[in-house]
Amino acid sequence: MVIAGIVAEYNPFHNGHEWHIRRTREALGEDAVIVCCMSGDFVQRGEAAAYSKFARAEAAARCGADLVFELPLPWALSSAEGFARGTVGLLAQLGAVDVLSFGSECGDADALSAAAEALLDPSLGPEIREALADGVPFAAARQSALALRSPESAALLSTPNNILAVEYIKALYDLRSDMRIITFRREGAEHDGAGSGSIRSASELRTHLAAGRDIAPFIPAAAAEVFAREHALGRGPVSGRDIEPLLLSRLRMLPDEAFEALPDASEGLANRLMRAAREEPGWDGVLSAAKTKRYALSRLRRMCMCACLGIRKGMADGLPPYARILAATARGREALRLIAGRTRIPIITKPAVARELPREALAVFELGASARDLYVLTASAREERRGGSDWRTGPAVL
């Protein structure tokens, strides 16, 4: 049995995601087990997911994935490096994942590995700090420093999927994992761009959803059925407009010290964000008022979301302390028996089991449950806004 790990957000699950799962299985054999580590109700962009983690996991399982685990909240709302460490770390701790499969713009595993090795060279540090002194964001400073040594590797860091791929490989090196890697050239639209044909970016599909347009031509039929059900039950899709007032109210109620305790709150950024949160009339206004040349918008979005959800600096420094199953197929349940004998972290099959976790791990689970209590308030159906749903909802078993 070959087990392949995939890092995902599936926000929403679309034809490109199904293509990636299919290509992975073709490369490894039809009996390969596909295990995904997926963000929950809030994603790495610092936004609420268009559909709940349970719906997105079920859609993935109906379209080729065998097991879907949730990436706990602090890592889901971390930087690219923290996100990669969390996802790869969770998969590695399962003890049974043989291969890490991911998409990239270049589709060249050797080139991505070379870039990862170059970035892990500690002697690159002074050159990065010198570039940072010019007031540019960290990602640009790192790319600029790398370009002095390896222009080819630096060029790879110009596109988002390549960047994440390099971070995945760095995480494998840091963890001393023996997982092999395979990568496939990304098909269809660019990460945040408009496309043509049947494969569109998740960003474009979220734009369609926010405008009330049909995305069925761009997602597998089984996923479309899941999302149609969520819509009929008044549970989605969720847009920024739905959640903005809830987030602003939380930001404005925070004490000064809460902003200082945020991840990446440095060099006066916490104060800028605090003032903006208390003065600006909208979410975009808060981000615009706090933004400077030095800080990427994505970093500010994550900081704001971390503030709203109670995530403090240091929470994502280690590795996820448990693996919660959101969806499983028959083949996934078979693989789970193998994983159960090898895993180095608890496997959560039912939410009630989480109450037996060690104190620090339980605190992480409770943080995610609290975040879900905020997320469900966006539901148009009143009954769907009940609190505590994270403790009542088990995995989709197919």
Asked whether residue 191 is marked as a ligand-binding residue, the answer is no
As a three-state string, the secondary structure of 114-179 is HHHHHHCCHHHHHHHHHHHCCCCCHHHHHHHHHHCCCHHHHHHCCCHHHHHHHHHHHHHHHHCCCC
Burial (Cβ within 10 Å: 0-12, 13-18, ≥19) of residue 213: exposed
Asked whether residue 137 is marked as a ligand-binding residue, the answer is no
What is d(CA 178, CA 162) in angstroms, rounded to the nearest whole number? 21
Asked whether residue 167 is marked as a ligand-binding residue, the answer is no
Asked whether residue 10 is marked as a ligand-binding residue, the answer is yes
Asked whether residue 26 is marked as a ligand-binding residue, the answer is no
Name the nearest CA neighbour of 222 among 47, 33, 52, 14: 14
Asked whether residue 295 is marked as a ligand-binding residue, the answer is no
Asked whether residue 208 is marked as a ligand-binding residue, the answer is no
Asked whether residue 103 is marked as a ligand-binding residue, the answer is yes
| Cβ partners under 8 Å of residue 316, min gap 6 | 74, 75, 77, 78, 82, 85, 86, 263
Asked whether residue 18 is marked as a ligand-binding residue, the answer is yes
Asked whether residue 19 is marked as a ligand-binding residue, the answer is yes
Asked whether residue 13 is marked as a ligand-binding residue, the answer is yes
Asked whether residue 318 is marked as a ligand-binding residue, the answer is no
Sign of the Cα pseudo-torsion (173, 174, 177, 182, in order): negative
Provide the token pair at 225: 């059925």
The CA–CA distances, whole Å, from 200 to 36, 45, 162, 187 equal: 21, 18, 18, 9
Asked whether residue 12 is marked as a ligand-binding residue, the answer is yes
Annotated binding site: 7-20, 103, 161, 186
Residues annotated within the binding site for ATP are: 7-20, 103, 161, 186
